[in-house]
Amino acid sequence: MAYGTSDAHGSHDHHPSGWKRWAYSTNHKDIGTMYLVLAAIGGLVGGLMSWLIRLELSQPGLQYITDLQFYNVLVSAHGLIMVFFFVMPALIGGFGNWIVPLMIGAPDMAFPRMNNISFWLTAGGLVLLLTAGFTAGGPGTGWTVYPPLSSNEYHPGPAVDLAILSLHVGGAGSILGAINFIVTIINMRAPGMTMHRMPLFVWATLVTAFLLVLAMPVLAGGLTMLLTDRNFGTTFFKVAGGGDPILWQHLFWFFGHPEVYIMIIPAFGIVSQIVSTFSRKPVFGYLGMAYAMAAIGVIGFVVWAHHMYSVGLDVNTRAYFVAATMVIAVPTGIKIFSWIATMWGGSIRFDTPMLWACGFIFLFVLGGVTGIQLANAGPDMAWHDTYYVVAHFHYVLSLGAVFGIFGGFYYWFGKMCGRQYSEAAGRVHFWLTFFGVNLLFFPQHFLGMAGMPRRIPDYPDAYSGWNMVSSLGAVVTIVGTLWFLWLVFRTFTAGEKAAANPWGPGATTLEWTVPSPAPFHTFEETPRIAPEPAH
């Protein structure tokens, strides 16, 4: 083996066992595993909420959820949990922790203890949010928490305060984690791995970490203002005291728009690794790919008010946000075409991770082009706050980010647990999910075109047809998810022993040089990356 990996020290020395191994863990792999478990819990809870919503919406009238506040709480908690406690812990905390140190040849993260507290803050955030859901009727504010609806007049009781604290705590965990990634990636790359030779997943994590460090504090500031408005008599967002509810929307979306890139850029990174591996080619236009992500990150900070076209912004302001938003299509296009160019001329194996990556590319394009439509403030008046928007952002997140998560999961599962999943079962999971989510979300474009508003528990009878189809899609997705849980169980109990590199010569990054499962300590001796001709 070319690199120092599981060496003479043995791989299971010097660390606590039992519950202390996990609770006190400072090991990037264990913490990554805990993040993935947290994401699985978050994903199942958030998914369960969306299935309850789809159950209620499967036919007109109020059948299953007659408590309207509870419906609004489901809508709000589904959004918050999926964003903060499923997608982010899976992509950043989970794969980031597990894979980034392995990819750059570092023995661990730069600040292992901070890594531990990042995780437990995030877990605490989920507990607080679930507590909020069962307190004083729950926060029925939408994940956007717009005042005055979220103010103490319209949401008295501690539910919204608990939700705010949840985001504070989870956000603090994210900021600490992001600082850890930035420091690790900048300082702990193996000798020879220049910035321009880092795998794209590392680039993606670095860009994401910068977005987190810059965006999360703005959310925290806004949340604090909301908290003091609610409890200590300030009036930042209250008209009666000279405040302005629209100020919250600016603060929220200044965070909220970068947040969508925080969720999708790590998936970009994963898809880049997978496409390259399974095409047996290096990524096409590597530098363009890396800087496209950086560009998306930068532009992502100056487009926030495209979520607010109908709030009464000045027309010139809206015109600016239209222009800025459309610019994002350019680096995004570079990424899409570079992935295809990576496949072009390749020798492609369509194993399960590659299926998810290809699914990601096409469905992300569908969500991306409806994004171009929505970027236009004029016609957006027809789509704003309708199911068209719901379909759009579920295509980029539920079918984009989540496909990235599953792609990464199948790609690295063997490396993480030491056993290889069944290829046939993985493909069944992919096709069930692909069919299910498209059946679920594609008809929502039609509902949105016809004018169906978001976040309503009942709808005019004319919308019942496509809603029923959409709910059928949710049923297929549930079957796919159960299949996935069974697959994971089978892999742990009866999976074949995973090879160090199950993917062949296309897999060139460092994590494939260590055994599977990756030993507790890796790269105790720093690997040296041979100088390589330009990409």
Q: Provide CB contacts within 8 A for 407, sequence distance 6+.
A: 267, 270, 271, 274, 353, 354, 356, 357, 360
Among 16, 156, 157, 378, binds other proteins (CB under 8 A): 378
**Interface with other proteins includes 466 (CB under 8 A)?**
yes
**Interface with other proteins includes 12 (CB under 8 A)?**
no
**Roughly how many angstroms between the first and final C-alpha of the chain, as a whole number?**
24
Tell the smallest beta-carbon distance from residue 173 to other proteins (Å).
27
**Interface with other proteins includes 393 (CB under 8 A)?**
no
Question: Which one, 468 or 475, has the nearer CB to other proteins?
Answer: 468
Q: What is the 3-state secondary structure (H, E, C) of 52-92?
A: HHHHHHCCCCCCCCCCHHHHHHHHHHHHHHHHHHHHHHHHH
Instruction: Round to whole Å and give the CA distance between 318 and 304.
Output: 11
| Binding window for other proteins (CB under 8 A); candidates: 108-116, 219-227, 404-412, 456-464 | 456-464
Q: Which of residues 291-320 bind other proteins (CB under 8 A)?
A: 310-312, 315, 318-319
Provide φ and ψ at 467, rounded to 5°: -65, -40
**Interface with other proteins includes 427 (CB under 8 A)?**
no
Alpha helix positions (H), 232-328: 245-279, 286-299, 315-327
**Interface with other proteins includes 244 (CB under 8 A)?**
yes
Question: Which one, 261 or 339, has the nearer CB to other proteins?
Answer: 339
Q: Which of residues 103-162 bind other proteins (CB under 8 A)?
A: 140-142, 146, 148-149, 153-154
Tell the smallest beta-carbon distance from residue 447 to other proteins (Å).
9
DSSP secondary structure of 428-476: HHHHHHHHHHHHHHHHHHHHHHHTPBSS-SS--GGGHHHHHHHHHHHHH
Tell the smallest beta-carbon distance from residue 306 to other proteins (Å).
12
Tokens of 478: 């549930």
Instruction: Round to whole Å and give the CA distance between 174 and 159.
Output: 22
Tell the smallest beta-carbon distance from residue 502 to other proteins (Å).
15
Q: Which of residues 348-367 bind other proteins (CB under 8 A)?
A: 348-350, 358, 361-362, 365-366
Tell the smallest beta-carbon distance from residue 243 to other proteins (Å).
8
* CA-wise closest residue to 80 among 128, 32, 113: 128
Among 453, 515, 517, 519, binds other proteins (CB under 8 A): 453
Task: Calculate helix-pair angle for 402-417, 464-494, nearest 10 degrees.
Answer: 10
Q: Which of residues 61-100 bind other proteins (CB under 8 A)?
A: 68-69, 72, 75
Size of the site for other proteins (CB under 8 A): 94
| Binding window for other proteins (CB under 8 A); candidates: 95-103, 281-289, 418-426, 507-515 | 281-289
Tell the smallest beta-carbon distance from residue 332 to other proteins (Å).
9
Among 10, 156, 191, 345, binds other proteins (CB under 8 A): 345
* CA-wise closest residue to 506 among 356, 286, 346, 353: 346
